[in-house]
Amino acid sequence: MKIVVTGGAGFIGSHLVDRLLHAGNAEVVVLDNLLRGRVAHLAQHSTNSALRIVEGDIREPALLHELFAGADTIYHLAAQSNVIGAVSDLNYSFSTNVAGTVHVLQAAQQANVRRVVFTSSREVYGEVVQLPVREETPLNAKNAYGASKAAGELYARVFQTTYGLETSVLRLANVYGPRDRDRVIPLWLDAARAGRNLIVYGGTQLIDFIYIDTVVEALIRAATRPLWGPLNIGSGQGTPILALAERILALDGVDVQIDRQPAREIEVARFTANVAAMYEYLDLEPPDDPLFALEQLWALPDS
């Protein structure tokens, strides 16, 4: 079986590739433009003949047609995946997250791929009144990143209903784990290691953190389980941002303080996922403590 992972050298994608190669029953093709992804994330598989890494871009239709030929499953993770980055470079986030996703879906349909698993985001909901957020909640993106992911979801649905391409959409909460960067947990761990204070923008945020292992398991199961509408993938618990900061301050050897700054209005302040459908359709239960891996990450300077 052939599986293609777009964005497979990135944070989530590389952990997914680890699992797929460990299973040992598929040829795995990674497509990544390496703007955020790193080949080093896959270095442990350098002698595995089942892995092929292609440096390229999902905005290249001819390349997609070549790579998707004979594939059973496409995991589409390639994206401008940073809220601030998506706003600061709107053209790139649109051409990658929207047009690039259309290219992926079109190439998959033309190659008779069985299923595309698309990673969306909790950002599609925007700022909501009622928590936890159910999948039926209307989409009301607050920023360009959320809008681009919402557009990708709509195109996935169109390709399923119009062209018969199976698509599974996972709306990820705030994923954390080894290899992540430029998001709050790795930024704060790096700051604490360097003796810098933890900068808190605002301080009223409520965030649903989910560890990478649960997300990878969700991706694996979403490729074969019966189709359902978009699924929230999260812990189902909201962690106050100041509680996260206090957890990091309590780590062994940390000697920094909290530095509160004005809130950044572009960011969604409060989100907790309703994960009842994740339980029901993926038989997946997150850990009781969403932040259970903080100590492990603190012990990994290159995490």
Q: Are 255 and 193 in contact (CB under 8 A)?
A: no
Q: Hey, what are 60's tokens?
A: 């290249």
**106-126 in b/e burial notation, b at 16+ Cβ within 10 A?**
bbbbebebebbbbbbbbbbbb
Q: Is 211 a known active-site residue?
A: no
Q: How many CB atoms lie within 10 A of CB 283?
A: 10
Q: Are 220 and 257 in contact (CB under 8 A)?
A: no
Position of tokens 């040829």?
Answer: 27
Q: CA-based Rg of the chain, rounded to a whole angstrom?
A: 19
Q: Residue 24, by phi and psi: left (phi above 0), alpha (psi -120 to 50) or beta?
A: left
Q: Which of 145, 155, 211, 281 is catalytic?
A: 145
How many H helices and E strands in the chain? 11, 13
Q: Are 119 and 6 in contact (CB under 8 A)?
A: no
Q: How far apart are CA 177 and CA 291, in angstroms?
A: 10
Cα 154 to Cα 57, 148, 171, 229, distances in angstroms: 21, 10, 13, 11
Q: Which of 203, 206, 207 is nearest to 260 (CA)?
A: 203
Catalytically active residues are 145
